[in-house]
Amino acid sequence: MQLWMLTHSRPDHALRTAQRAEAAGWDGMLVVDSQNLAPDAYVALTLAATGTTRLGLGTGVTNSVTRHAAVTASAAMAVQQVSRGRMALGIGRGDSALAHLGRAPARFAGFARYVQTLQTYLSGGRVPFRDLPLQDELAPPVEALELADHPADSRIRWFDPALPKVPLEIAATGPQVIRLAGRVADRVMFTLGAVPDRIAWGIDEARAAARAAGRDPATLAFGAYVNLVCHPDVAVARALVRGGLTTFARFSVMHGAVAGPVDPATRDVLARLHDGYDMRAHTRADSSQAALLDDAFVDRFAIAGPPAHCLARLRELRALGLDRIVISGPTAGADPAAAREAMALLDQAVIGRV
């Protein structure tokens, strides 16, 4: 099982963090893609690629609204070329990137069409113009120019075919997106918390969808985003992990209904989180929503505690069949000194062991 980290997309930070992660033995690094809150993800990944030789790189995650599918594919394939095959394209329906444009996450039908088109581009295929959602009010069809000739369809023409295809990894929480990922994705990346029965449910949903679509479930890979802080003091670890956990836990109740199996106490906490989430304090450890997560919820949905506890919980997730864990650690608003101590301990006592 690989361990990847999730971090900010500020280019200088991404380069330093990638170099530190590679030296410490991490398998990969994802950067956020949220244009109003952070610099461009692909600029950060390109810079990180030039400063590393082994580390996997990717988006955690992009979305189907802020870029045309051809632009997303081309950007990901450019990082694949610079990194010589280390890119992974993570995508979801969107959260803060769309909220800061005044929009909610993408509607499912459009998201499904987008990821299927994206896979076609990434695989070197041709997309018919009729399948591209460009409105005539914005740009008329190319036929209007009455050229001698013009492209008959859309494809990425410049990519080096000797390089491997960029894998498409769909971040999934609810059953609709999990099933879509089972049909289309190279890897399903669950955002269900570090909860074995919820992840087992997600794996079953994805495999059933793959079989129904005529796909061999064995071709699917599974991973998960996990909020994890390693610190000898459990109370400190919980405080450090709460900010990021509010964001990931909210995905399970994004539209009001809870996705996946939960007990009544967990359902109550998720309902409070849905009603009390302030996007202006997104991911912050000192936010009002962080105070809504009680210790029992944090202990179930996140991994927070000393190295032995973190290792035991990670092994539990690996036994489910996950081959990648993306770790989100301390976030803005947490105690900086405690955060540095926790990140150093994770590098020293957990990464090498896994």
Q: What is the pLDDT of residues 265-293, one digit of tens each?
A: 999 999 999 999 999 999 999 999 999 99
Domain assignment present for residue 250? The answer is no
The torsion defined by the Cα of 174, 170, 58 and 10, in degrees rounded to 10, comes to: -40
Per-residue confidence band for 197, with pLDDT thresholds at 50, 70 and 90:
very high
Domain assignment present for residue 120? The answer is yes
Q: Is 104 a member of any domain? A: yes
Q: Which domain holds residue 36?
A: 1-144+155-166
Q: How confident is the model at residue 201 (pLDDT cuts 50, 70, 90)?
A: very high
Instruction: Determine the residue type at 215.
Output: R
Is 319 inside a domain boundary?
A: no
Domain presence at residue 68? yes
Encode pLDDT of 7-23 as tens digits: 999 999 999 999 999 99
Domain count, the chain: 1
320: buried, middle or exposed (CB in 10 Å: 19+, 13-18, 0-12)? Answer: middle
CA-based nearest residue to 82, from 20, 159, 23: 159
Q: What would the mean pLDDT of 106-111 be, rounded to a whole number? A: 98
Q: Report d(CA 279, CA 273) in Å as an integer.
A: 12
Residue with tokens 């996705």, as numbered in its chain: 259
Residues 140-194 have pLDDT tens digits of 999 999 999 999 999 999 999 999 999 999 999 999 999 999 999 999 999 999 9
Q: For position 42, which CATH number holds? A: 3.20.20.30
Q: What is the mean pLDDT of residues 329-342?
A: 96
pLDDT band at 352 (very low <50, low <70, confident <90, very high): confident
How far apart (Å, rounded) are the C-alpha atoms in residues 302 and 99? Answer: 25
For residues 133 and 195, the model is more confident at 195
Per-residue pLDDT at 310: 98
Single pTM value for the model = 0.97
Q: Which residues of 249-262 are buried (b: 16+ CB within 10 A; e: fewer)?
A: bbbbbbeeebbbeb
Q: Is residue 115's pLDDT more than 90?
A: yes
Residue 189 phi, psi dihedral angles, 5° rounding: -110, 105
Q: What would the DSSP string read from start to end of 156-189?
A: --S--TTSPPPPEEEEE-SHHHHHHHHHH-SEEE
Q: How far apart are CA 22 and CA 18, in angstroms?
A: 6
pLDDT number for residue 17: 98
Q: Rounded mean pLDDT of 94-101?
A: 97
What's the whole-number average pLDDT of the chain?
97
Amino acid at 202: G
Position 71 in a domain? yes
Q: Is the pLDDT of residue 133 over 90?
A: no
> What is the band of 237 on the pLDDT scale with cuts at 50, 70, 90?
very high
Pure H helices in the chain: 11-24, 41-50, 69-83, 96-99, 108-122, 175-184, 196-212, 234-250, 264-276, 295-301, 307-318, 336-346
Count CA atoms closer than 13 A to 240's CA, side-chain side: 26
For tokens 């330093």, the residue is 16
Among 177, 50, 49, 34, which residue's Cα sits nearest to residue 115?
177
Task: Return the CA Rg of the chain.
Answer: 20
Q: Which residue in 119, 59, 54 sits closest to 86, CA to CA? A: 54
Q: With respect to residue 109, please indicate whether it lies within any of the assigned structural domains.
A: yes
240 found inside a domain: no
Question: Is the pLDDT score of 30 beyond 90?
Answer: yes
- Chain-centroid distance, C-alpha 206: 17
